[in-house]
Amino acid sequence: MIPQKRMRFLLLALQVLLPLAALQALEMPPPAQPVPAKIEIVGGEFQPTWESLRHYRCPEWFRDAKLGFWGILDPQSEAEGGGWYGREMYLEGTPAYLSHLAHFGHPSRFGFKDLGTRWKADHFDPDRLMKLYKKAGAKYFVGLATFHDNWDNWNSKYHRWNSVNVGPHKDIVALWAAAARKEGLRFGVSEHLERSYSWFNTNKGRDKKGAFAGIPYDGNDPEFADLYFPPHEDTTVTYPKNPPEWWTREWFWRIRDLVDTFQPDLLYTDGAVPFDATGRSLIAHYYNTNLAQHGGKLEAVYNLKDMNHRAGHDHGEYVDGVGVQDVERGGLHGIKSEPWQTDTCIGDWFYKTGFHYKSARQVIAYLCDVVSKNGNLLLNIPLRHDGTIDGDEEKLLAGMATWIGVNGEAIYGTRPWRLFGEGSQNIGKIGGPVKEDVFAQMTARDIRFTTKGDFLYAIALGWPKDGILRIHSLSTSVGRIESVSLLGYDGKLAWKQSVKELTVTLPEKIVSQDAIVLKISGRGLGSRP
C-alpha cells in the first residue's frame, strides 16, 4: 500500500502536472434575461387539468414512423465517461471522480463549468449524421436540449450557461433541427431539467479523506450559483423533494422558451409530469401552440414515463392518455391500444470509452418486438466529445440500413395483428416492463406480427438451422392463407398450412441472419379490432 503522506504528495503533484489544456481560462457567460414572475400559457383547446389533457390523441405521423434516433451531446461528453458523469465526478471514490482527478484535476479546481469551457464539439456535423440516421431507418430525430446537469444546448433566454455562450459557441438544438428537417424527418427535443436541482447538487460536497479532504468542490462558490444552485441538502437522483417555487417557475420558462423557439414535433420529459399545475401548464402550452402552428390539427407528441412503480422514487405524476407513454430501456409485455415508445441506447447514454455496444441484430429484434406491440423505438447513438460517432457505431448503422432497406415495409405504417407474436422467450405475461437484454437471446422460434393493408407480416428473429420456419399462430384456425413470400427473395416458397401450424421451407441461401419477413395474404387474417 502507498503511505498516506506519499499519496497526498502524489495527488498534489498530479494537479501540477495536469495537461495545460485542462488549465484554460474559464469562459464567463453574459447575464440571462430574468425569469418572468408568473406562469403564462397561450390560450386554446387545452387547459392545465388532467381532464382537459386526456383529450389528447396521438398523431398519425408518430404511429407510422416506428423508428427515431436520438443525439445526446453536452459538456459531459468532453470526459467521455458515460451518462451520469456530471453527478458522479463530485462523488468521492467513484470511477467518474477518479477519472476526473486524473484527466482534469480535483473538482475544487476544475469542475463542470470548466468542462463546459473546454468542450468544443469541433467536428460536429449534424448534416452528415442525419443522412446516416435516415439511411438506417429514422423517420424522426430527437436532440438533447438540456440534461440533469443544468446546461442548455440552445441560445437560452433565461439561462446563461448554454452552448452558444460557452464552449462550442454553437446552437446545438438549432443545428440538429435544421439537419433533421432538411432530410424530411420530424424533429423532437428531450428535456431532463426538472431533476437538476437535486441530481446535480453533489457539486456542493467535499472530500472526506485523502489529499483533498475538506476542500469544497467548485459548486460551493456563490459566483456560479446559477449553474450549481444555491446551497441546499437534496442530492436525490429523482425529482426534487421540496423544490422552491423559483426553480419550478424557471423550469417552466426555460422549457417554454425551447418549445416556442423550435416548435418541435415531439417533446420528451425524462419522467412523468413535474411540479403539479406548472407541469400541466407546460403541456397545455405545447399542445395549444402546436395546434395554432398546424391549422387546428394536433401534430404534437409529448413523451412521459410511468416510473413511480419503483419503490420510494418520485418521478412526477403519470396519467395515462395525456401524452405518449415512454418506457426506458425495455418494452411492454403485450399490445397497448394506444401508441407508445421505448427509448434505449446502443451503449451508455453519453459516450463512454470502451463500452460494448448492442449488435445490429439485437437492435433489429428490439425494433420488431416494439412495433408488433404498437410501439416506436427511439435509439440513441452516443456522440464523442467532438460531435462524431466511432467506427463501430457507423457499422451498426450500416447494418440497420441494409436490413431496413429490404424489410421496411413490415415496419413503417403498420399496425398490430391479433397477437404480437410467439416464441421461445416468454415475454407475453402481464407484469412490469420487459428487460431489454432479452432481445439478444431471440432466435428463429421468436416470431413477431405486423399488418398493413391486406397483408400480414410474420417476422422471424433469426434463420432456422434446418431451413424450415414453423409458426404455430398461423394454423388453419386463424384463417385461410393463400400466398406466402419472403422479403428480399424473388423465388417461390414451398409452404403448408395445417391445423397445427404454418410450415415454410426457406431458400438454401440465407437472406439475413438478423431477422426475416414473410409477407402473407389470405382470407380471415384480419388485424386486431
Taking only the tens place, the pLDDT of each residue in 251-291 is 999 999 999 999 999 999 999 999 999 999 999 999 999 99
Q: Which region holds residue 214: left if phi is over 0, alpha if psi is between -120 and 50, else beta? A: left
371 sits in which H/E element: helix 360-372
List strands edge to edge, sheet with 468-471.
468-471, 502-505, 494-497
CATH superfamily of 421-523: Golgi alpha-mannosidase II (2.60.40.1180)
Is the Cα dihedral 99, 100, 101, 105 positive or negative?
A: positive
Instruction: Name the packing angle between helices 172-182 and 245-262 (round to 10°).
Output: 30
364 sits in which H/E element: helix 360-372
Report CA dihedral (135, 139, 141, 142) to the nearest 10 degrees.
Answer: -140
Q: DSSP assignment, residue 511?
A: S
Look-up of cell digits 439475413: 512
Residues 86-117 as b or e (16 or more Cβ within 10 Å = b): bbbbbebebebbebbbeebbbbbbbbbbbbbb
User: What are the distances in angstroms from CA 477 to CA 453, 459, 481?
Assistant: 21, 20, 11
- What stretches of 153-302 show up as alpha helix (H) in DSSP? 172-182, 196-199, 225-228, 245-262, 277-293
Is the Cα dihedral 484, 488, 493, 495 positive or negative?
A: negative
Q: Which residues of the chain have pLDDT under 50?
A: 1-14, 16-22, 430, 529
pLDDT, residue 17, reads 44
Q: Where in the chain is the domain with CATH 2.60.40.1180?
A: 421-523
CATH superfamily of 4-24+42-328: Glycosidases (3.20.20.80)
Grid cell for residue 140:
424522426
**Rounded CA gap, 98 and 385, in Å?**
19
Q: Where in the chain is the domain with CATH 3.20.20.80?
A: 4-24+42-328
